[in-house]
Amino acid sequence: MIQEISFKSLNSIYRFDSFMHFRNTVERKALYFAHHSQWNDPEEGLVLRKLRERTGIAEIREILNELAPNRTEIIPILQVTDYCMHGQSWTKCEGNAYFWQLHSKHNDAARIEVQVDKITMLDCKSSA
């Protein structure tokens, strides 16, 4: 079962990244949204990566048939998403050895904490 997370129940969210990426974010005063294929966590973008394989599509179709029978439009929507999705990974976990190891290959990781109520007040603009 998919668990819905309410932002109202969270005080802070966290991002783990290399110190170099953190410094670039601060200097540019902007967040960088990478294409999901560039994410270095093997769990992130897993469904979208599976769409590139025939066996992966069959696996996703089987799961979707259980969750949303007769919703044939979902796979094409996911395939378009695969092409255009950019983002960042944030977590509600304060500290996790897995995240530190993943982002600290040279012992230079940074953990960024952001208060959720501040994020909801951001003025989002597109540079496109």
pLDDT digit string, tens, across residues 28-69: 888 888 887 887 777 777 788 888 888 888 998 888 888 888
Take residue 8 and report the two structure tokens written for it. Answer: 């109202």
- Residue written as tokens 């989002």? 124
Task: Mention every residue, 6+ apart, whose C-beta is less than 8 A from residue 32.
Answer: 21, 24, 25, 88
- Rounded Cα distance between 75 and 48, Å, is 10
pTM score: 0.63
- Residue written as tokens 């909801």? 120
pLDDT, tens only, 77-128: 888 888 888 888 888 888 777 777 776 777 788 888 888 888 777 666 555 5
Task: Mention every residue, 6+ apart, whose C-beta is less than 8 A from residue 22.
Answer: 110, 112
Q: What pLDDT does 126 receive?
A: 52
- Rounded Cα distance between 59 and 108, Å, is 38
Instruction: Give the domain ranges of the chain.
Output: 1-28+91-128, 33-87
| Mean residue pLDDT across the chain | 79
Which ranges constitute the DSSP H helices of 36-126? 46-50, 54-67, 74-84, 97-103, 116-119
Q: What pLDDT does 1 receive?
A: 38
Of 35, 2, 14, the residue nearest 119 (C-alpha): 14
